Amino acid sequence: MAAATEPQSKYRSPLTARYPSEEMSYIFSDRNKFQTWRQLWINLAKGEKELGLAITEGQIAEMEGVLTDIDWDRAAAEEKSRRHDVMAHVHTFGAAAPSAAPIIHLGATSCYVGDNTDLLVMRDALKVINRKLAQCCHKMADFATEHKDLPTLGFTHYQPAQLTTVGKRACLWLQELLLDLANCEYQLESMRFRGVKGTTGTQASFLELFNGDHSKVEKLDELVTEMSGFKSSFIITGQTYTRKVDALIVNALSGIGSTVTKFCTDLRLLANLKEMEEPFGKNQIGSSAMPYKRNPMRSERCCSLARHLIGLVASPAHTAAGQWLERSLDDTANRRIVIAEAFLTADILLNTLENILEGIVVYPAIIAKRISEELPFMATENIMMAMVQEGGDRQVCHEKLRQLSIEAGAKVKVEGLQNDLLERVQADPYFMPVHEKLGDIVNPENFIGRAPQQVEKFINTEVEPAIEKYKEYFTAAPELAV
């Protein structure tokens, strides 16, 4: 029998340990970060060589040959000695590519690799988020279409209101997801590279390297930006790109937290009513004490994690507000926590939401039962209109229905019995002219307005065009851990 794995003796974030998302975890990993630093140094050297600096093909080839071969022990020792992470990796890279050591990081400041890497990481992470948002929109749209005609009791103030349909209600959730997708797409499309700007953003060091040739400095910025996969860079920076970018992106991610919380809270309420449920595994246990429990674990997890995501919004806003002049170093420790956690949390939320949507359960019989309990009261106006069409007096009919409604309400509230208003109307000779029409009058499908048509129009004109470009990524929902 294999020995049990011993628990970790150091704290590990639940975002990567308990709720793993391999793709997003890698994007924010040290491996990806420091490998990207090396690629940026290579891009800088290539650009400087192309514009005439004394850099050889051999030096660039040597750097490219050890791009992924990072001596982690040496890097840690260098950082411990030098107390500077960028210079630790400059020296570690230089030791691996000795012929290139003299030209690595030439003219650059730490933010050349630090800030540009952060932008590259957030760009790649946003692409993942947008893809998963589109996937959730796709699955929610399928659910809404399937149930567009299924009447259900609507609620305002969590009190019974006019009927809607299960599909129309799903479109309320879907609309918020679609807004999140549009917002995150906008943030992605608006992203710009920091580029090659120097210590206070003036590009003075590069102007010195190129003997005062402004055109070459501008061209270097363009070349490195293009090699790094961006269409443009900021014209104006201090030592860093504006931290307003971080605040805007984290704010967009927090919107996902709000959307997922709204959906999962509604689902938890509907689960209590036994109208809808999230998937529940064959061997899943809802409670250690109560065997019958089917706790909405996935939805509760989403609400819990989303609370954390929404709460992260304040930090990047304070960071952006608190930058002194051309820069302050009180941003870095905060940013390395907040930005990664915002993306990791949003990613986990979307994975879980997709898992829920893959197996969400609807109980039409319970929904119909609840409608039957409330619809008679809602149908009184329709009954009254039908009586007037048959020659009845509207005011007399109103009073008759009011009295019968009070009697039926007392049966429900005081005695705990079923709503028998329709039976009372059927038994009252006054309503004889509409007795044969009562079945049609109280048909739930007559109370859902244009809900089915709204679902179709919304999905066809807004949802499908928005997610069309992501369809190649649509797959089965991921398995959840724990």
Q: Does residue 353 have a pLDDT over 60? A: yes
Alpha helices in 204-296 (DSSP H): 204-209, 214-227, 244-272
**pLDDT band at residue 17 under the 50/70/90 scheme:** confident
Q: What is the mean pLDDT of the chain?
A: 92
Look at residue 326 and give its three-state secondary structure: coil
Joined together, the tokens standing for residue 227 give 């090699």
Look at residue 380 and give its three-state secondary structure: helix
Length of the chain: 482
Look at residue 153 and give its three-state secondary structure: strand
Select which of 157, 214, 254, 315 is catalytic: 157
* Cα-based distances in Å from 18 to 296, 312, 323: 18, 20, 35
**pLDDT band at residue 412 under the 50/70/90 scheme:** confident
* C-beta of residue 316 within 8 angstroms of C-beta of residue 247: yes
Select which of 13, 81, 232, 287 is catalytic: 287
330-345 average pLDDT score: 94
Start-to-end CA span in the chain (Å) = 23
Alpha helices in 312-393 (DSSP H): 314-321, 332-359, 364-378, 380-389
Structure confidence by residue, pLDDT tens digits, 81-92: 999 999 999 999
* C-beta of residue 467 within 8 angstroms of C-beta of residue 134: yes
Kindly state the DSSP code that residue 10 receives in the 8-state scheme. S
In the annotation, is 299 catalytic? no
320-325 average pLDDT score: 94
Full DSSP string of 165-211: EHHHHHHHHHHHHHHHHHHHHHHHHH--B--S--SSSS-HHHHHHTT
Cα separation, 18 vs 181, in Å, equals 26
Which pLDDT score, from 0 to 100, does residue 290 have? Answer: 52
Higher pLDDT, 16 or 207: 207
Which pLDDT score, from 0 to 100, does residue 411 have? Answer: 86
**pLDDT band at residue 374 under the 50/70/90 scheme:** confident
CATH class of 380-441: mainly alpha
Look at residue 163 and give its three-state secondary structure: strand
* Cα-based distances in Å from 259 to 232, 253, 307, 470: 32, 10, 11, 20
Residue that has been written with the tokens 């070459």 in this structure: 216
Q: List the Cα angle 29/34/36 in 5-degree steps.
A: 95
User: Domain spanning 110-281+291-363+461-470: which superfamily?
Assistant: Fumarase/aspartase (Central domain) (1.20.200.10)
Cα separation, 432 vs 387, in Å, equals 9
464-479 average pLDDT score: 85
384-400 average pLDDT score: 92
Structure confidence by residue, pLDDT tens digits, 219-266: 999 999 999 999 999 999 999 999 999 999 999 999 999 999 999 999
Cα separation, 295 vs 268, in Å, equals 9
Joined together, the tokens standing for residue 385 give 């209109």
Look at residue 277 and give its three-state secondary structure: strand
Residue ranges per domain, the chain?
A: 22-103, 110-281+291-363+461-470, 380-441
Q: CA dihedral defined by 378, 379, 384, 388, rounded to 10 degrees? A: 140
Q: Does residue 476 have a pLDDT over 70? A: no
Which pLDDT score, from 0 to 100, does residue 1 have? Answer: 45
* The listed CATH number (2.60.120.10, 1.10.275.10, 3.50.70.10, 3.40.30.10) that belongs to domain 22-103: 1.10.275.10
How many helical (H) and strand (E) elements, i.e. helices and strands, does the chain have?
21, 4
Higher pLDDT, 439 or 185: 185
* Cα-based distances in Å from 234 to 195, 329, 344, 410, 464: 7, 20, 27, 70, 34
Q: Does residue 286 have a pLDDT over 70? A: no
* C-beta of residue 463 within 8 angstroms of C-beta of residue 174: yes
How large is the C-alpha radius of gyration of the chain?
Answer: 31
* Cα-based distances in Å from 238 to 84, 173, 208, 210: 20, 41, 18, 21
In the annotation, is 405 catalytic? no
